[in-house]
Structure 1
Amino acid sequence: MIQLKSIHHIAIICTDYPVSKKFYTQILGLTLQQEIYRAERDSYKADLALNGQYIIELFSFPNVPARLSFPEAAGLRHLAFEVEDVETARQELINQSVEVQEVRVDEHTGKRFCFFSDPDGLPLELYER
């Protein structure tokens, strides 16, 4: 069996690079570690970190096709971020004009969580520590 150590990163392709870069850095607070423009692909690649740990590669490509991405569709369901207090974090997103669903309680863990989306509709979750 392969010996996995951890999740290294998550790759996200966006449709509007400046908008998504702003969302992930200025609204969610991820840190831009490195940004590269690849002229041969007309593509940007940003390496984003959370608390100093590299977690997201944000890509742009011209004319990317749309992909259905709902929490109940096949494939990646959502990306969840852990927070200390879901209600406080939810309100901070609302203050930044991000639409956020109501807080729910996980019936198995008793933890609070809520869903929202990035600028391209990728489902994201806040999950209470």
Structure 2
Amino acid sequence: MKLLAGIHHVALIVSDYPRAKDFYTRILGLEVLAENFRAQRQSWKLDLCLPDGGQLELFSFPDPPPRPSRPEARGLRHLAFRVAALDAAIAHLQAEGVACEPVRVDEHTGRRFTFFADPDGLPLELYETG
């Protein structure tokens, strides 16, 4: 029996909600499914749709503590997105002022990939699937 059918969503806590919303919607092009302000928590929750039907949730909370990521800390290492054309995706990000690391090649699959960061420094990856 297969217990899991796939990833439904990934949740991120952001430090600057308007900046993160702009980054994930305007720059990365994700569609807004729902946006709610939760007054009891003084928190925004933004549900975004990925092209494959998965979701990304953005949460804002008052004064969230920073999360260590470098040197690499235990926990989620990075979030990777599939892209058909890596060079075009990199050009789009760079035009928006988003720095990308040099392109690398996965030694096991031969696929090209690069890393960049969201406004909070969360490591994001673009992985070319063709």
Deviates more, 1:53-62 or 1:25-34: 53-62
Distance in 1 of aligned mates of 2:119 and 2:71: 15
Distance in 2 of aligned mates of 1:27 and 1:73: 27
- SS, match of residue 13 in structure 2: strand
Displacement after TM superposition at 1:71 (Å): 7.6
Residues 1:122 and 2:117 aligned together: no
CA contact (8 A) 1:27 1:93 kept: yes
Change (3 A) 1:93 1:72: same
Distance in 2 of aligned mates of 1:114 and 1:52: 20
Q: Which residue of 1 aligns with 2:95?
A: 95
Displacement after TM superposition at 1:52 (Å): 6.6
Q: Which residue of 1 aligns with 2:55?
A: 55
- SS, match of residue 91 in structure 2: helix
Displacement after TM superposition at 1:54 (Å): 4.0
CA contact (8 A) 2:7 2:54 kept: no
User: If the length of structure 2 is used for normalisation, what is the TM-score?
Assistant: 0.94
User: If the length of structure 1 is used for normalisation, what is the TM-score?
Assistant: 0.95
Distance in 1 of aligned mates of 2:59 and 2:83: 25
- SS, match of residue 4 in structure 1: coil
How well do the aligned residues superpose, as a CA RMSD in angstroms? 1.5
Q: Which residue of 2 aligns with 1:110?
A: 110
CA contact (8 A) 1:82 1:127 kept: yes
Distance in 1 of aligned mates of 2:47 and 2:98: 23
Displacement after TM superposition at 1:114 (Å): 0.1
Cα shift readout 1:72-116 (whole Å, capped 9, x = no counterpart): 322101000000111111111000000110111111110000000
Gaps of 5+ in 2: none
Residues 1:65 and 2:46 aligned together: no
Q: Which residue of 1 aligns with 2:7?
A: 7
Aligned residues: 129
Cα shift readout 1:107-126 (whole Å, capped 9, x = no counterpart): 11100000000000000000
